[in-house]
Structure 1
Amino acid sequence: MLKLVKTNSENKDFILLVKQLDAYLKITDGDEHDFYNQFNTTNSLKHVVVAYLNEEPIACGAIKAFSKNKVEVKRMFSSKKARNKGIATKVLKALEDWALALNYKAMVLETGIRQTEAVAFYKKNKYTSIPNYGQYIGVENSLCFQKIIKE
């Protein structure tokens, strides 16, 4: 049975999943991993969702304030067991609903050009490409996306 749990970045299962994510990104990001990793700290994330399948943590994601009206999606990850089952979409939808409840109007995120599965996932979930923002301006291997969740 699938269960989604709202928590924070101190959750031990979230920490475990993020370690798996970082191991994957270290391979796909290659020499650029240290650059990206500096923006992916998980300390003090207050809005984290962890997905459990039969009590096993299999997917996660988080949001953090980006501006007055926007949150940034952080640390989205699905273990191999969770892929192609719609679980990541459920985690993302839970984060969108949480952002709405907090009165945010849009979600933004950055992913790498080499994370082709992630790019396809966000497009499938109606995120649209935007110019690179913040620390990602001018970074050729970064892709930024946005979704308006409230008009």
Structure 2
Amino acid sequence: LFVRWSIASNSAPNPDYQDRLRDKLRSLANNVDLLMQEEISLAVAARFGIDYHPSTSLATLNTPEYTIVHLGFDRANMLLGEWYAMVEHPYHRAIAQVLTALTQLSEVSEFKFFVPSPLSDSEASTQTINTSHEQVFDPQKEWQPGIVYHYK
């Protein structure tokens, strides 16, 4: 999940403000029993269209303008089939609830997310993301691996 925060163009970056925003995001995830871990993979950042130079340090992914996180489930190995394609599945509903809450926050200017392929590791699955085929986020529609969903 990539979240771009609304920050006034004339204001200086404020680490405390970013911490509060991350805490708000973590709280939304915790409220529906999802785990949140900050993502520092340059491959994942690239899938969200974040420009970086190959020599870029991973620390530069930690900016006040955006946050990239992985939302995970509270129980390991509990995934049943194509949960992301089942709108009524509890995991789909939980993630949709977090994303819908993000649409209500004035601090969020946009977000993007994708469902990694269930058959591969996360690094390999980011290679199959089709960034040329983005779709608008709709919590009531099924999701497919490899498509970047967005909200502005």
Q: Greater share of strand residues, 1 or 2? A: 1
| TM-score between the two structures when normalised by the length of structure 2 | 0.33
Answer 1 or 2: higher relative contact order, Cα 8 Å, separation at least 6: 2
Q: Greater share of helix residues, 1 or 2? A: 1
Question: Over alpha carbons, which structure has the higher Rg?
Answer: 2
